[in-house]
Amino acid sequence: MIESLVEQIEARFTEAEASMSDPDVIGDRERFAEAGRAYNRLAPAHKLAGEWRLAQSDAEGAKEMLEEGGEDADMRAELEDARARIERLEEELRLAMVERDPNDDKNVIVEIRGGAGGDEAGIWAGDLFRMYERFAARLGYKFETMSADDGAYTFEIKGDSAYSIFKFEGGTHRVQRVPETESQGRIHTSTATVAVLPEVEDVEVEVNQNDLQIDVFRSSGPGGQSVNTTDSAVRITHKPSGIVISMQDEKSQLQNRERAMKLLRAKLYEAELQKQQDALSAERKSQVGTGDRAEKIRTYNYPQRRITDHRINLTVHNLEAVLAGELDDISAALQDAEKRRRLEEQAVG
């Protein structure tokens, strides 16, 4: 079975390489970008396939030497080492070729809202906003703020496979710390909710213009003070679903309308995905996390410099680094857990 998987990887990688140098593909920006993504997805698996073939060759060579020359401690050790490499590489190959989430290649729209905890929850939402901004910068992604208000932030992250990384951030983030306004030094618990939506194109979600109520009004700043002399702010109500999107950060009504429609499409897409997930049997649902806002996914404990991700029982003690955008280890562990869960589902299904 592994032999056929390795052959499949090699064939698909050769095909991806050929596409990257095909003049017809190079001349079509969309096809060339897709070919590049396919190549990058297959490159790690292709490297593992080469290492597996080398380990197979080493094992066969050591076995032949033992059969021809009799027992030899060094050759026996070489055979055992090659067999151990083969076993490890077979597991890594299966994980590398697990079926991906179809949304993984998409950009993302993220919403953060202060939850329980009053003013401190709003401050915590801002801390998470800056953490994701720094993490996106570390990954070389483009970060665009769509709206920012006290305790409420909406932003877009653009980059290859952004959703595959940020989708695990959806849920309730709990913080335990002493607020700056706390005179007695008592530890408070506050929360912020994060929603991560894959950005979708017009063709993926059809929005009937007759289903929309669009209102325009003047942008307002702190305390309701008008900051614009024209009706540039936009509020779109999707009547069938009741979803309401307001956007006022841009100076142009057209730009605010475009951003509001982008967010509306993402929310409608998410609602449809949720409907499909609810139809699945309980054992087929994600154990890594559904991204549900009600799900407590992570606790940040300041006194102990501790972060615990409750979905995979992972605890790290580098709070400052994570808040500075170094989520790499947590993100990698969550991605690995999802791959293993998908592998188990494929074996059952």
pLDDT tens profile 269-294: 887 777 766 654 443 344 334 334 45
Radius of gyration over alpha carbons of the chain, in Å? 25
Most confident of 9-13, 176-180, 330-334: 330-334
pLDDT in tens, 148-162: 887 889 899 998 889
3-state secondary structure of 259: helix
Q: What is the pLDDT at residue 200?
A: 75
CA angle, corner 329, sides to 303 and 187, nearest 5?
A: 15
Distance CA 114, CA 323 (A): 17
- Contact between 236 and 213 under an 8 Å Cβ cutoff? The reply is yes
Mean pLDDT, rounded, for 96-105? 77
Decide if pLDDT at 330 tops 90.
Answer: yes
* φ, ψ for residue 196, nearest 5 deg: -120, 120
3-state secondary structure of 138: helix
What are the tokens at 259? 């951003």
Mean pLDDT, rounded, for 133-153? 90
Mean pLDDT, rounded, for 99-106? 79
Decide if pLDDT at 220 tops 50.
Answer: yes
Secondary structure E strands in the chain: 108-114, 142-149, 152-158, 171-177, 188-198, 212-217, 233-238, 243-247, 296-301, 306-309, 314-316
Q: What is the pLDDT at residue 303?
A: 92
Decide if pLDDT at 266 tops 80.
Answer: yes
Please give the full DSSP string across 4-73, using - where no structure is assigned.
Answer: HHHHHHHHHHHHHHHHHT-HHHHT-HHHHHHHHHHHHHHHHHHHHHHHHHHHHHHHHHHHHHHHHH---H
Sheet holding 296-301, edge to edge: 142-149, 152-158, 108-114, 188-198, 171-177, 296-301, 306-309, 314-316
Distance CA 108, CA 89 (A): 32
Residue 200 is classified by DSSP as -
Q: What is the pLDDT at residue 215?
A: 81
Distances in whole angstroms, Cα of residue 323 to Cα of each of 140, 143, 299, 336 = 17, 17, 12, 22
Q: Buried (b) or exposed (e) across 129-148, using 16+ Cβ within 10 A? A: bebbbbbbeebebebeebbe
Q: What is the pLDDT at residue 183?
A: 67
Q: What is the pLDDT at residue 274?
A: 73
Q: What is the pLDDT at residue 286?
A: 40
Distance CA 218, CA 228 (A): 6
Among 312, 303, 211, 216, smallest CA distance to 257 is for 216
Decide if pLDDT at 4 tops 80.
Answer: yes
Mean pLDDT, rounded, for 211-238? 68
Q: What is the pLDDT at residue 288?
A: 37
pLDDT in tens, 22-57: 888 888 887 888 888 788 888 888 998 889 899 988
Torsion of CA 330, 105, 97, 54, to 10 degrees: -80
